[in-house]
Homo-oligomer: A and B are copies of this chain.
Amino acid sequence: MSTKRFSGVLAPVITPFHADLNPDYDRLLAHCRWLLNKGVGLAVFGTNSEANSLSLSEKKQLLDKLVEGGIDPMTVMPGTGSCALSECVDLTKHAVNLGCAGALMLPPFYYKGVSDDGLYAFYSEVIQRVANTDLKIYLYHIPPISQVPISLDLIDRLVNAYPENIAGIKDSSGDWENTLALNEAAWPDFRVFCGSESFLLQNMTHGGAGCISATANVNPAAIRNLYDNWNTEQAEQLQAQLDQVRALFQRFPMIPALKAATAHFANDKDWLRVRPPIIEMGSSQLQQLVKEMNSASFSMPGL
C-alpha cells in the first residue's frame, strides 16, 4: 500500500455469481473496469458486495484475480473486517501485500454491546499483527447492520495510537450529525467518507473525502461529477439529481436491485443471482424497477 490516503468516490462492488453460486470472476472484472472507466474506485467486499456471504479463501482468490486481470491495486479498498481476528489479519495482510490502497474494516460484529476496550483491542491486534506502515485502515461504521458502532472516543484512541495506519472512516450511520462530528474532529489527514451520496455535497462542504455508496455501482459517473464539482454553482442541482436516482433504488431491496439494473443494461440475466440469505426480486418487482428506470431516463451507458 502507498502512504497516500484515498479521496473520491468508491463503489462497494456488487459480486456476480455463477449458477452454482461460486463467484464469477470474469463478470466482476468487467464490472470493475466499467466502474474505473466512470471514475470511481473499487471498495470490493463491502456490504453491497455480499462480502460476508463469501469465505475468506473466496475473497483472497477474487482479489488475486482482479490484480492479475490488470486492475491497479491502488484503486482497490477491499473490505477485510471479520468477526474472527485471525481471518481479519489474514485478509488484511493479503491486501497489503497485493498493494491495495486501503482496507475498509468492519468491527467484529457477532457479539453485541461489546466495549470500546474490546474493539480497541481487536483493531490494535490487527494492526500489530499486519505490522506494516503501508496498511491504511478505513474504519467501517454501519450500526444499522453491524449493530456494533464505532464511537468517536474509540477512533480518537486508535488515531493517537496508530496515526500511520488509521486513515479514515466510512460512515454508514445515515446520521449526518455523526458525519459532521467526524469531520470536525480534526484528526490529521483523517478521511471521512459518507456511506451514501445523499450526503456527498454536505460532506465535501465540511472537509470530507468523498463517498462510498451502493448506488455508485449503477450511477458512478454522475456521483463522480458531483465530487469533481461540489464547489461550483451546479452542485445543488447535481446533488438533487443524485438524490432522485438514489430514491428510485431505495424503493427496492438494494442488493438485488443493483444487480437487476446491471442485468438489464448489460442484457445479461446471470447478473441477477445473489447468495442466500439475500434473495432475488420477483418478476413483478423486476418489471417495476425497469419501468421506473425508463421513466427516469436512467441508464448505465457503456455497460
Interface set of A (CB-CB < 8 Å, partner B): 21, 47, 52-56, 58, 83-87, 90, 107-112, 114-115, 117-119, 121-122, 124-125, 144-148, 275-279
Which residue of chain B has the shortest Cβ distance to A122 in the bound complex? B276
> What are the 10 closest A-B residue pairs judged by CB atoms, nearest first?
A118-B277, A121-B276, A52-B110, A122-B276, A52-B83, A114-B277, A55-B86, A55-B87, A118-B279, A55-B84
For the complex formed by this chain, how many copies does it contain in all? 2
Chain B residue with the shortest CB-CB distance to A20: B129
- Tell me whether B85 and A21 are in contact (CB under 8 A): yes
Report the bound CA distance from A90 to B108 in whole Å.
21
Residues of chain B within 8 A (CB-CB) of A276 are: 85, 108, 118-119, 121-122, 124-125
Query: Contact at B53–A84, with CB atoms within 8 Å?
Result: yes
Q: Are B21 and A108 in contact (CB under 8 A)?
A: no
- Chosen A-B contacts, 5 in total, with CB atoms closer than 8 Å, are A47-B110, A85-B275, A112-B147, A114-B277, A117-B279
Contact indicator B52/A84 (Cβ below 8 Å) = yes
Q: How far is the CA of A21 from the CA of B84 in the complex (A)?
A: 11
Closest residue of chain B to A278 (Cβ to Cβ) is B118
Contact present for B277 and A111 (CB under 8 Å)? yes
Q: Which residues of B contact A145 (CB under 8 A)?
A: 110-112
Residue of B nearest to A59 (CB): B84
Contacts of A86 in B (CB 8 A): 54-55, 58
CB distance from A2 to the nearest CB of B (A): 28
